Chain A
């Protein structure tokens, strides 16, 4: 599993590779025969287990390089960092990001309400398309599979609050570090094809999406997220029924979830059950208050005087993060340390990632791996050879094909869309 290629091959097969457009494709294909069985067995899959693993760690979040947060294991998932148990908020440990595809069992989990779906019967499950449409639809999983052209893509997703824990002053919410993200290969049908079959009214302004999750109280607003109608009809959104070659884990939205490439995961409604085409915009807490950012460059606002002019958070800003070395690892002087990370944007593509080992005084270009797919993350690497012992401040900075790069610092009241230049402190000895 130390080889990135074996990670790539987790739960992957020939069928899934059709859309990965890169030089890597042929290499992967040729390696499948040799490596697939190894990779599959190395990717521990523990479907059906629901035991909780209490590692006996203190009930507080780690403040230093060593992560002290408790781990939990949920059905179809491996041990993940447990931010909360009901509803489950599970963060992916950073080492899983050494693979280009994040395994399903390690993929992060975020639900808003405790009423999560735990049982789905495909004989009765229907995706309802309703509202301002000419032909309301009720589609079973098999209807989706048989009546629409299948599409597939490798797509990055990231919780709007990913890395919230790094904001200062700290803000309430799920205190994710960098693990509320992942990269997966999805297969499904185009959202726009389903909407076209239903016949969207010319007066429609948005399409909104609801899953099988239920609010805890009659008075709680159901979790429902809208996309502007032009995004729904012209964008690349997928109603996905397959993730990395398998049905979706229940906690990641079985049997179908919305995949909105380049848009924050709050729009990726899980266990998608209803699409409502609207001629008036949805107006609820989830739209009017939550997941909003200030209308300012890099969403920056003053903690003492938060902005009153806000807008819904939509697409990913350009961003890069470190995957290796581990912050707790001791780096040896005069030897080469493999520094590696991933960079993302909302679809224009990553042009450059720079690396600094002196807290941003000087920068060098990182090597970029071949692009995997339009909305995938892209891996970057640097061979770093520090010659002196001491404390180092590493930084990484990505730039996309539109010239969008990363800011030095940022703060917003929701702790959303963190994308300032990443810093990693390492000791060299």
Chain B
């Protein structure tokens, strides 16, 4: 009986120490981690417990600045992709943008008239491109100065 009482007392003291360690005490660090998300439904039970998965995607469309060809770009290119596809590219020369627009027509089946293609290239050069570098002269300065 005496032993049991001692054991019970020890148990209570132990529980107290444990509670202090877990919930209190000056040394406790604040838990800044976000609350743990509920464990996902195991794959084997998904069909029974959570058969439909649906996400709502909000897109973040950047502004398209005014410029030559803006209308053609804003009505045709964005049918298939965000204007951000332009912004994530390097500042390409006209030649590269022309090839890209042609790729949209030839490879991806975009129906853009040759005139509209030209307007779109103008817009891309205006917004996020540059003119092609002047071709290097065939003769160098040393020989022409001779």
Contact = CB atoms under 8 A, between A and B. Distances in A.
Interface of A: 37-38, 40-42, 44-47, 50-52, 54, 59-61, 70, 72, 74-76, 82-89, 113-114, 116, 118-123, 140-142, 145, 170, 172, 174-175, 187, 215-221, 241-242, 246-247, 250-251, 254-255, 285, 289-290
A119 B53 contact: yes
Interface in B27-61: 31, 33-37, 40-41, 43-44, 46-47, 51-61
Contacts of A217: 79-80, 108-111
A145 B43 contact: yes
23 contacts: A37-B36, A41-B33, A44-B34, A50-B56, A59-B62, A72-B60, A74-B57, A83-B88, A84-B82, A84-B85, A84-B88, A87-B81, A118-B55, A120-B53, A121-B52, A122-B47, A122-B52, A142-B44, A145-B43, A242-B43, A247-B41, A247-B43, A254-B53
Contacts of A52: 58, 60
A247 B57 contact: no
Contact of B44 (A42, A82, A145): A145
Contacts of B90: 170, 175
Q: 6 smallest A-B Cβ distances: which pairs?
A: A219-B109, A75-B55, A86-B82, A216-B80, A45-B37, A170-B90
Contact of B100 (A116, A120, A172): A172
Main secondary structure on B side of the interface with A: loop
A47 B37 contact: yes
Interface residues of B, number: 43
B51 to A, nearest CB: 4
B74 to A, nearest CB: 14
B92 to A, nearest CB: 7
A84 B84 contact: yes
A119 B85 CA distance: 25
A123 B49 CA distance: 11
A122 B48 CA distance: 9
A175 B81 contact: no
Given A122-B51, A175-B90, A250-B55, A84 B81 contact: yes
Given A40-B36, A84-B82, A141 B88 contact: no
A75 B43 contact: no
Contact of B84 (A85, A142, A221, A255): A85
A174 B46 CA distance: 34
B96 interface: yes
A120 B52 contact: yes
Main secondary structure on A side of the interface with B: loop
B113 interface: no
Interface of B: 31, 33-37, 40-41, 43-44, 46-47, 51-62, 79-82, 84-85, 87-90, 92, 96, 99-100, 107-111
Contacts of B31: 41
B73 to A, nearest CB: 15
Given A40-B36, A250-B55, A254-B53, A220 B84 contact: no
A427 B109 CA distance: 49
Contact of B51 (A83, A123, A215): A123
A89 to B, nearest CB: 7
B109 A89 contact: no
B84 A86 contact: yes
B71 to A, nearest CB: 20
A85 B33 contact: no
B80 A114 contact: yes
A172 B98 CA distance: 12
Nearest to B109: A219
B79 A216 contact: yes
A114 B88 contact: no
